[in-house]
Amino acid sequence: MLKKITLVIVAIHLLSAPYTASAQVDEKAKKILDELSAKTKAFTSIIANFSYTIENKTEKTTETQEGKITIKGKKYRLEIADQIILNDTKFSYTILKDAKEIQKNLATNVGGKSGEDINPSNIFTMYENGFKYQFVKEEKQKSGTVHQVIKLFPTEAKKRNFHTVLLTIDKVKKQIVSIKILGKDGNDMTYNVKKFVTNTKVDDTVFAFNSKNYPGYEEIDLTQ
C-alpha cells in the first residue's frame, strides 16, 4: 500500500516542475507550456478530481482508482482511496485509514530544490523544471475540443524511475487533461483530470491536521 502511495505522489509530482530548456529548444512546445504555466500560476486555488490507472506490463495487471487534490499556494490536501495527505507547508501528515495510522513528516516543499522533491502542491506545474520537451501532435476530439500532446524527458534521467511523460493539454482552456508516466520498471501510470475548479474560497482548515478527527489512530512522528 505504501508503495502504491509513493507511486501516486511521484506521478502527481510529475503533473507539476519552470522547465529546463534543452540545447535544441522545441519552440512550439515551449510556447504551449509557457501559456499553461502562466494561467495555472494565476489561480488562487485549485480543486481537481482525477482518476489514475496503474498498468503493470510484466504482470499484465491494470488498476484504476479515484483521487482528489485541493491546492492553495503551497498547501495541499490529497485524497487517494483510503488515504489522505495533508500539507500545511511546515509538516505533512499521511493518514492511513485501514491501518489507523498517522505519519508526520517535514513538509516536502520546505527547503527542497524545485523539480526534485515530491510535492503535490506543484501538481499542475511539474513540467517547469528538470525536463526537456517535444511537441508531438494536435488531436481534435469528438466533442470538438482540441488536445495538444507534449513529451517530457527528465534531464537527470538516471535519478528518475521513469523515462518519459506524455502531457495532454486542452488547447483552448490551457489546462492539463491527462498525464501518462512511463516507468523504467514496466509500471505505467495515467492520470485523467475529470473535474477542475479554480479560484474558489478554500479555508486553511482544509489543510490543517487535527488529531481529534482521528480517534484511536496511532501517531508516528518521523520529523526527528
Give dist(CA 199, CA 177) in Å, integer: 18
Each residue's pLDDT tens digit, 50-84: 998 989 988 889 999 899 999 998 899 999 888 99
Lowest mean pLDDT among 118-132, 162-176, 183-197: 118-132
Q: How many domains does the chain have?
A: 1
Give dist(CA 72, CA 144) in Å, integer: 31
Give dist(CA 146, CA 173) in Å, integer: 10
Query: For residue 114, is pLDDT > 60?
Result: no
Give me the CATH number covering residue 176. 2.50.20.10
**Which residues constitute the domain of residue 79?**
2-221
- The DSSP output letter for 199 is S
pLDDT for residue 102: 97
Lowest mean pLDDT among 2-6, 190-194, 202-206: 2-6
Each residue's pLDDT tens digit, 12-22: 554 444 344 44
C-alpha cell at 100: 489507523
